[in-house]
């Protein structure tokens, strides 16, 4: 088949160039969106009298037949036709003849590919949001199931203060819900019709872009034809949202890796989500969680790839922009697959409550509670902090726990100490007292869980 630009050229395209510039090897996955957009475009052309309505009907039927063949695996994509757009158009012309040559009226591959990518991302974002909700549901379920379990909370990877395991899990649920909200906000910027912008300047033909937008379910029509074909900020934003999401997933994965180690023994991962060693028979490796952590870098790379591609491009379309698809496709696949696995991983992990609770009192984790005890007795916080620091130092030197000190010993540090100081020394008491909104007390966490349920239930 002749190239669509062959009228201008006297020499055929080199086969090496064809291989180097083709995108059909990866953009074929856009076929469904390309056909969907072409059907809407053809119907608009017929409705507006730009092409005969009978031709529009033939085009629509021909495209539907091609879609069926692709679904059934009876369609051959050709590299010499470069991309998904030309493959489908060439097949259409071969099937219905001259009416097929009218389909590309009042559009360019520039606005056509922008349309296809927006349609594709619209579906991917909705799928990702649905998967996120599933993961959030798994976190909610495990939080409710383990509401009474106390564990050490950490700062700087050092034991800091006791918290509820449910509080820890809900921290990740909150992060993922913000990710879901980011994708929701992105949908509004994706769901704008670029078709009808043509190569860059629009068209002199009497098209109806609003009608096409209606057929395709777009919420609006792009305002500037040059902007429509020249930018990929919606794709960059998708990659950005995905990168932030993967950052959160990577942190969950890292904790699963650490917590499943012999040094922690806070969790045991299902055998189905681990692997063994080819040389060490005793090993049970958290490979799935490690790969989730590793694939985060892959998504970061996709974001940087597209940002770098776009950063120096003059208006409007440049062939560099063909490089937008592989990072987007790879990221969409990575995020979908990771979220699917993450929901199963969280749902199947076994928490070792005894190990978590045994570490909750260690490391003088209730020292802050002693300082706040003195604050309630009227001691200024900075002085209370200094007093408590001296108490801890004394315990370290004497190889004692905070609960081992006598009232007389506490009073040697401050006359404000009384017998009720022993009520704040254990992890359970520490957790119960953290009743501030958003805190780790059981009633506070229950409230958080209920509010979270309502929040995601109303979206």
| Contacts of 104 by beta carbon, 8 Å cutoff, 6+ apart | 4, 89
Among candidate residues 85, 156, 305, 419, the one labeled active-site is 156
261 is catalytic: no
156 is catalytic: yes
Q: Which helix (H) or strand (E) holds 458?
A: none
Cβ count near 305 (within 10 Å)? 18
- Sign, CA torsion 128/133/136/137: negative
| Closest to 60 (Cα-Cα) out of 77, 35, 88, 83 | 35
Q: Please say whether the beta carbons of 107 and 195 come within 8 A.
A: yes
Alpha helix positions (H), 224-324: 225-230, 233-259, 287-310
Strand 267-268 versus strand 158-164 pairing type? unpaired
Angle at 38 (CA atoms; ends 35, 43), nearest 5 degrees: 130
Cβ count near 280 (within 10 Å)? 8
Check whether the bond before 123 is cis (ω within 30° of 0): no
Task: Say how many CA atoms lie within 13 Å of 35 toward its Cβ.
Answer: 21
Give the DSSP letter string of 68-117. HHHHTT-----GGG-SHHHHHHHHHHHHH-HHHHTTTTT--HHHHHHHHH
Among candidate residues 23, 277, 305, 414, the one labeled active-site is 277
Query: Which sequence positions are flagged as catalytic?
Result: 156, 277
């Amino acid at each position: 088949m002749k190239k669509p630009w062959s009228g201008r050229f006297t020499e055929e395209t080199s086969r090496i160039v064809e291989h180097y510039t083709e995108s059909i090897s990866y953009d074929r996955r856009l076929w469904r969106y390309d056909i969907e957009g072409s059907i809407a475009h053809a119907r608009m052309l017929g409705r507006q009298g730009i092409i005969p309505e009978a031709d529009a009907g033939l085009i629509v039927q021909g495209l539907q037949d091609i879609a069926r063949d692709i679904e059934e695996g009876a369609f051959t994509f050709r590299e010499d036709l470069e991309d998904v757009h030309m493959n489908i158009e060439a097949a259409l012309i071969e099937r219905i003849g001259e009416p097929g040559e009218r389909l590309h009226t009042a559009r360019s591959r520039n606005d056509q590919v922008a349309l296809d990518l927006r349609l594709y991302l619209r579906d991917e974002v909705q799928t990702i949001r649905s998967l996120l909700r599933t993961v959030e549901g798994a976190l909610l379920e495990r939080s409710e199931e383990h509401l009474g379990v106390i564990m050490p909370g950490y700062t700087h990877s050092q034991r800091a203060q006791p918290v509820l395991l449910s509080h820890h899990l809900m921290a990740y649920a909150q992060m993922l819900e913000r990710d879901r909200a980011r994708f929701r906000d992105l949908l509004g910027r994706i769901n704008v019709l670029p078709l009808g912008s043509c190569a860059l300047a629009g068209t002199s033909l009497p098209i109806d872009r609003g009608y096409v937008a209606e057929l395709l379910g777009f919420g609006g029509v792009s305002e500037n034809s040059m902007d429509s074909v020249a930018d990929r900020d919606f794709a960059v934003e998708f990659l950005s949202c995905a990168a932030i999401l993967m950052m959160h997933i990577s942190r969950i994965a890292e904790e699963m890796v650490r917590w499943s180690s012999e040094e922690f023994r806070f969790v045991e991962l299902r055998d189905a989500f681990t692997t063994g060693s080819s040389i060490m028979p005793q090993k049970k490796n958290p490979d799935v969680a490690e790969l989730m952590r590793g694939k985060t870098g892959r998504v970061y790379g996709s974001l940087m790839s597209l940002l770098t591609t776009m950063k120096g491009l003059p208006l409007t379309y440049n062939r560099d922009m063909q490089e937008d698809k592989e990072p987007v496709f790879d990221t969409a696949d990575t995020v979908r697959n990771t979220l699917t696995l993450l929901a199963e991983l969280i749902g199947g992990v076994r928490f070792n409550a005894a190990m978590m609770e045994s570490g909750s009192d260690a490391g003088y984790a209730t020292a802050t509670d002693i300082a706040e005890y003195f604050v309630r007795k009227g001691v200024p916080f900075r002085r209370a902090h200094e007093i408590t620091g001296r108490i801890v130092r004394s315990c370290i030197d004497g190889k004692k726990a905070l609960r081992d000190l006598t009232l007389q010993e506490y009073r040697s540090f401050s006359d404000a100490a009384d017998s009720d100081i022993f009520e704040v020394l254990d992890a359970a008491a520490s957790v119960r007292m953290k009743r501030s909104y958003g805190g780790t007390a059981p009633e506070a966490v229950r409230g958080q869980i209920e509010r979270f349920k309502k929040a995601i239930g109303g979206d």
